[in-house]
Chains A and B, each alone.
Chain A
């Protein structure tokens, strides 16, 4: 579980770094950057499913489910929304949006660990 969340964090961090590079170079999002968004989104889906499986199988205290899955869905929505904005905004500012949302997903991931520490124990 921890390994999976590290993977999602690395994906988000790499996407953010790549997006910043694009923005600095005055590049709009291309298939590489949009692909990074897509891979990060898949990471969030897998994380959500894994948390759900763990939640069902868990015997410990249950997580605050609405908040937990709300955060997972928000993370996913941000990555998809950021990619969507990057795809349609054909300027460097589309890349900036991807950088911003990717950075925010890292914060969300951190909060998910706080919301349900048992899920990652």
Chain B
């Protein structure tokens, strides 16, 4: 393999080489931002009257993913904005997940956060927990990379 090893690039100034694990977090959030936005837009634009509450929450989930993605890209994982948004995301998935269990009639059609993100392999539930763990533990280890 001819790929340059990470450590080979000594010419690059420290901190300019990359974001490290953060880029993976950004990618996963971007994937969810994209898929949740597409899904909720289709729902809202084609059949909003069927389930206004569910589809509004779907749109809200999409907006949250977009906001977290932007916060991570622009401010990084140490920013307060990213942390607050991830906490909001966690509350959202817990509330919507619990609502779908307690009152399924409210959700005639699935959303990203239905049943704690079951349709997406529970990644929507795991993601904010992992993101928070990474943000907080990474911070405790101290100085920026």
Contacts and interface: CB of A to CB of B under 8 A. Distances in A.
Do A and B associate with each other? yes
Interface of A: 22, 25-33, 66-67, 70, 74, 77-78, 81-82, 85, 88-94, 96-97, 100-101, 104
Interface of B: 1-7, 9, 12, 17-24, 26-28, 30-31, 34-35, 38, 42, 46
A104 to B, nearest CB: 6
B17 A91 contact: yes
A93 B18 contact: yes
Q: Is the interface of A mostly helix, strand, loop or mixed?
A: helix
Contacts of B18: 28, 88-91, 93-94
Contacts of B9: 90
Contacts of A89: 18-19, 23
Contacts of A32: 1-3
26 contacts: A26-B5, A27-B1, A27-B3, A27-B4, A27-B6, A28-B5, A28-B6, A28-B18, A31-B2, A33-B3, A67-B42, A74-B38, A77-B34, A81-B27, A81-B30, A90-B9, A91-B6, A91-B17, A92-B6, A93-B24, A96-B23, A96-B24, A97-B23, A97-B27, A100-B24, A100-B28
A101 B28 CA distance: 8
Contacts of B3: 22, 25, 27-30, 32-33
A114 B34 CA distance: 20
Q: Quick one: which of B1, B26, B42 has the most chain A CB within 10 A? A: B1
Nearest to B42: A66
